[in-house]
Structure 1
């Protein structure tokens, strides 16, 4: 009589039911948001005097002295931050419900592009004292206007599309390269300079503004390179 061989019992312990790291849900960007809140609080403290000067006019709902001044625009931008954070949170929750892994990153990028760019562009389109009377002026000689800009003007031009350069590659895979961000910022700057000329805002449409606006977006884009979006990530 032939005895059937009993299959050996495997000594390998059963695999753990713990999901892999890639399958674990990721938490929201708590640390970046905390740093952003601290940065906004520090900025508000440094600018508290001009902001308080514009507060009565803005709270009264008067456009003159609020929406047409730098202080007023800065105050309205700070007031818009809580609703902007709420919009980003709602967008992220919707994406998380749809199973999109990069929900927080994409939603923060969408809101960051708008909040970080629109107020600065708004400031550049404020009319001067001779608006509507003085014809548009154009300066097409590169590097000629840098001497008269001053430090504040140069820094402001570099920061104009910095938020766009930082967040656009995070949101759009087609912009995930420094040359494309440079081209996007240059095109946006050209539109702003054209608007200044056509609307006769008593401002000089300068090629140096375009150069600085475009160059300022590139280091901002490189700073966010680790979060750039790839084509494999959906963005509904």
Structure 2
């Protein structure tokens, strides 16, 4: 048996996860328009460097997110190095660290933006399915699909208990319900809509499908470990 290819398989899987994660980030940026338009939007807070402009507007949050990318990369490196020193294999250390940081980095800015005050008069709740969806433009639909996409893509890679599309759908729906309820309770002048919940959950589920080949491979590798077999899954003689 050739053992030289086995150690490289997790490394190749980790590289593919990194590439797909970067592709999703690029697609999210491209969804907002041409590159020059994105750069123009991101530069707007620099013309008025007031704290409210930075933390209280979509443009400010987007600029902070872009500026925090090097810090996120540094956090991934630091966590992976710490795990490697403690005995974790390098491929697993990088995969776990990327999943943890990616879930936070790819989700917090979206939740931050949808928790900013809107332009509706008071708290509005819409509980009729698909009614608001018919009035949404493409940007709203894409934005709602991306809110928990990073969570849906990376959570099954980090937590074995979430390695299931229905569970990721439930996680996305639960998180969305909490956000929509917070919008209503805090009276953020936004519409708390059941269609937002449906789109947020769908985005998480679609992202989980996109990463399925990797978290299924990880689950299979974990089940084949000697410790797992000894814990109640004896191999056939």
Q: Output the TM-score relative to the length of structure 1.
A: 0.79
Note the 1:120-159 alignment, pairs <5 A: 120-129=110-119, 134-159=121-146
Q: More deviation in 204-213 or 148-157?
A: 148-157
Pairing 1:217–2:204 present: yes
Task: Work out which of the residue numbers 147, 155, 169 in structure 1 matches 2:156.
Answer: 169
* Alpha-carbon distance change, 75 to 103 in structure 1, aligned in 2, over 3 angstroms: same
Unaligned runs of 5+ in 2: 226-237
User: SS in structure 2 opposite 1:205?
Assistant: strand
Instruction: Flag the 1:180–1:30 CA change in 2: closer, same or farther, 3 A.
Output: closer
Paired positions, count = 212
- For 1:89 and 1:192, the matched residues in 2 are separated by 31
**Residue 83 to residue 97, structure 1, CA distance change in 2 (3 Å):** same
Change (3 A) 1:172 1:38: closer
Deviations along 1:50-83, whole A, 9 cap, x unmatched?
A: 11112243xx4x2221211111111000010101
What residue is the counterpart of 1:14 in the other structure?
Answer: none
2:177 pairs with 1:190 = yes
Question: Comparing both structures, which one devotes a greater share of its residues to helix?
Answer: 2
> 8 Å contact 1:126–1:201 — kept in the other structure?
yes
The answer as to 2:95 corresponding to 1:105 is yes
Choose from 48, 56, 73 the match for 1:68.
Answer: 56
User: What are structure 1's unaligned runs of at least 5 residues?
Assistant: 1-17
Determine if the alignment matches structure 1 residue 89 to structure 2 residue 77.
yes
Give the equivalent residue in structure 1 for 2:42.
51
Counterpart residue number, 2:219: 230
**8 Å Cα contact 1:183-1:214 kept in structure 2:** yes
**Rounded Cα–Cα distance in structure 2 between residues aligned with 1:198 and 1:128:** 14
Whole-angstrom distance in 2 between the partners of 1:111 and 1:65: 26
| Preserved CA contact (<8 Å) 1:66 1:72 | yes
**Residues 55, 75 of structure 1: 8 Å contact kept:** no
Q: Please report how far the alpha carbon of residue 186 of structure 1 lies from its aligned counterpart in structure 2 after TM superposition.
A: 0.1
The aligned counterpart of 1:3 is none
The alignment partner of 1:76 has SS state of: helix
CA shift, 1:180, in A, is 0.2
